[in-house]
Every structure is written in C-alpha cells, then in structure tokens.
C-alpha cells in the first residue's frame, strides 16, 4: 500500500512511518521540517511542504499522483497549548487551514481514505463526575485554540464524508510519551515526562502543578500512552479504513488507566535512579483533575489495545533522552 504521512518526520509521525516501513508499505512523508527531522524517516520519500500555504494544494495533489497514494495519515499540526492561547489565528491557520488544503488535494487526486490525529484536548474540562472514564460520546468542549482547531478539523473531515464520500478515522490521543526506538525520542520539552527529565539532568527538581486536586494523592491524573502503541493504532485504523464502509469514526487512544503526577515522578525516579524530590507549585490554569480514556470503542472496533505500561513508557523515554 502507498501511504502519505503528513508530519512524518516528527515525534509521533516518525514512529508511524517506521512501523509502516517495517510491514512493507510504501511511505511518502510530507513535512515542513519546522520541528521534524529528515533523519527520522529512513528511506521514505520526503516532500517538504507547508500545508498551510496556498500553493500546497497543487504540490500535495502532485505528490499523491506521483506516488499512487491510496491513504493519508494526517499528523502534521502545531500542538502547544500555551502557544495556541497566545497566537490563536496562527493556530487556526496552520491546523484548520492546513487540513482544508490537504482535503482539497485529496479530492483532486481522488484519495478517499484518511486517518486524522485528533486530541483529548477536544474534551476540554469535561463535565462528568470525578473519576469517570471519558468515552467518545462526551460532548467535546475545548478550552483553548489548540483543542478548538482539532475539533474544527474533525468537523471539516466529517463534512467531507457527507459531501463526497471521504472515509475517515479520527484518533483522539491522550498523553503520548516514551520512544519506540532510542533515536525517535520526543525532541520537544513540553510535557511532564520530558520536562521532568530535563530538570533532573540539569540538576534541578521538577515542579508539581498543584497537590490539592480531588484525587487520591492530590495531583492530576492522566492517561499516558506509549508512542509505539499509539503508532500501532494508526496502522489498525488504516486497515479498518480498507475493510469497512463507515464514513466517519472517532476513537480515543489511551490505556484506560490513569497515573498521577506523583506516580509518574516516582516512576522517573525508579527508571533513572536519580533522586526526585519535587517542588509543589501553583495549579496550572485549565488542568482538569482527571482525564482518562474509555478505550472500549477502539478495542472492540479496531481490535487495538495498548500493551506498554507506565514503567515501559518512562524507561523508553529515559533511554531516548540519553541517546
Ligand atoms: C500532564 C500533567 C500537569 C508539567 C497536554 C495537552 C493535550 C495533549 C497532551 C496534544 C498535568 C502536570 C506538567 C510539569 C506538572 N496534547 N505537570 N509539572 O496538559 O495533560 O496534556 O499534552 O494533543 O492537549 O494539553 O499534559 O504533560 O503538560 O501535563 O505537574 O512541569 O502533569 O499539570 O497534570 P496535559 P502535560
């Protein structure tokens, strides 16, 4: 199969590309290399294209035609919540505008199958009883432009299904971490595990943003999913698009199990043998106490289930950090 992967040179994309290559698919990477790196994609073809530019539609359609592309995995996006709050129009332009251009190119080239990287950020601060697992039927209510842009993309993709038969799977990622190979670690330091590793390896202690939440140890609980499991979910989604006629689906990608900030930091101490004595800081605005995925839909429909636990995630993140 010939698959075009946008954002294929990035942290998550490069894992998807490597798994596709391992199973023998032909891979075309589209990446603007703003955060992606050329040496992460092996032998895959690379088209350096900024999706949000007006001229991207022609370039993308040409790349799809040239490589006989049958499916698109759309991962490329801006993904920093704080930055999206400061630059909302740019986030909409990059994420929503980029997706609009990609859809136009797919229509032009006659490519009708798409997997889209969405996010648990679409849920916002869900109005459900504390501790409830979030299923896909919870009404999305994003609280920042990043989450809004992802939800707007989901809507646009769904509308393309109604309009001209695009078939899509939208994966709502929870907290992605770890590394499938030591050379494919997360190069960005924007999330808890890399932030804590950077602090500890620079002789500082990590901060815990609030320890008075209504959770057993008072710190926020998240659903950490290994990036290799997540990448594997993309392959399962692609196979599902080949065998099912469903026009539009959305699935959570998580483990169904939560870990508190304290638990993650304890695991980091265990994996690194570094001394971890975190400082307690103020709550970070916009942090829900608990966000854990209900993963029954993806398990029953795609037959996908995460296999790596928190220890495997942190061990692999640490190996990649030292790479
Ligand atoms: C995890 C927990 C923090 C740093 C974000 C995006 C979300 C998705 C995943 C893309 C929280 C706490 C963090 C620190 C801490 N991204 N923390 N000290 O906010 O759950 O999710 O990444 O789709 O959209 O919002 O992830 O890693 O920032 O935080 O105590 O130095 O760790 O408060 O409870 P988050 P995170």
Give pLDDT tens digits for 140-199.
Answer: 999 999 999 999 999 999 999 999 999 999 999 999 999 999 999 999 999 999 999 999
User: Which CATH number is 2-176+224-253 given?
Assistant: 3.40.50.720
pLDDT value at residue 290: 95
Ligand 1 within 6 A of CB of 206: yes
Q: Whose C-alpha lies nearest to ligand 1, atom 1?
A: 192
Q: Does the CA dihedral 44-47-53-57 come out positive or negative?
A: negative
CA 157 to CA 122: how far, in whole Å? Answer: 15
Q: What is the mean pLDDT of residues 110-127?
A: 96
Give pLDDT tens digits for 204-249.
Answer: 999 999 999 999 999 999 999 999 999 999 999 999 999 988 899 9
pLDDT value at residue 244: 83
Query: Cα of 155 to ligand 1 centre, how many Å?
Result: 25
SS3 240: helix
Whether residue 130 is predicted with pLDDT greater than 90 in this model: the reply is: no
Nearest atom within ligand 1 for CA of residue 220:
34
CATH level 2 (architecture), domain 179-223+255-322: Alpha-Beta Complex (3.90)
**The model's pTM:** 0.98
CA 273 to CA 214: how far, in whole Å? Answer: 30
Q: Distance of CA 10 to CAs 39, 154, 246, 300, 310, Å?
A: 10, 21, 29, 29, 22
Angle, alpha carbons 127-304-136 (nearest 5°): 20
Catalytic (active-site) positions? 146
Whether residue 89 is predicted with pLDDT greater than 90 in this model: the reply is: yes
Query: Cα of 79 to ligand 1 centre, how many Å?
Result: 12
Domain boundaries of the chain, sorted by first residue: 2-176+224-253, 179-223+255-322
The runs of H, that is alpha helices, within the chain are 11-22, 56-66, 81-86, 88-91, 98-109, 145-164, 192-201, 227-243, 261-272, 296-302, 310-321
Query: Cα of 243 to ligand 1 centre, how many Å?
Result: 35
């Amino acid at each position: 199969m010939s698959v075009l992967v946008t954002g294929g040179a990035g942290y998550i994309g490069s894992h998807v590309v490597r798994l596709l290559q391992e199973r023998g698919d032909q891979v075309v990477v589209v990446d603007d290399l703003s955060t992606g790196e050329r040496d992460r994609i092996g032998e895959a073809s690379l088209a350096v294209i900024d999706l949000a530019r007006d001229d991207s539609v022609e370039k993308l359609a040409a790349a799809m035609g040239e490589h006989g592309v049958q499916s698109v995995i759309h991962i490329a996006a801006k993904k920093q919540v704080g930055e999206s709050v400061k630059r909302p129009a740019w986030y909409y332009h990059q994420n929503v505008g980029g997706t609009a251009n990609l859809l136009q190119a797919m229509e032009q080239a006659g490519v009708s199958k798409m997997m889209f990287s969405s996010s648990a950020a679409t849920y916002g601060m869900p109005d459900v009883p504390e501790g409830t697992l979030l299923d896909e039927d919870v009404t999305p209510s994003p609280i920042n432009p990043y989450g809004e842009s992802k939800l707007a993309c989901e809507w646009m993709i769904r509308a393309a299904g109604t309009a001209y038969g695009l078939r899509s799977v939208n994966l709502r990622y929870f907290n992605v971490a770890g590394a499938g190979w030591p050379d494919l670690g997360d190069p960005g330091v924007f999330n808890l595990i890399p932030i804590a590793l950077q602090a500890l390896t620079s002789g500082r202690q990590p901060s815990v943003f609030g320890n008075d939440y209504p959770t057993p140890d008072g710190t926020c609980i998240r659903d950490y999913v290994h990036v290799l499991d997540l990448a594997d979910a993309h392959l399962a989604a692609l196979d599902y698009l080949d065998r099912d006629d469903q026009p539009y689906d959305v699935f959570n990608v998580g483990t169904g199990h939560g870990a508190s900030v304290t638990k993650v930091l304890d695991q980091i101490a265990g994996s690194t043998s570094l001394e971890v004595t975190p400082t307690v800081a103020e709550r970070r605005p916009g942090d829900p106490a608990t966000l854990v995925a209900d993963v029954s839909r993806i398990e029953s429909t795609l037959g996908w289930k995460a296999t790596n636990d928190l220890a495997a995630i942190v061990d692999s993140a640490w190996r990649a950090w030292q790479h």
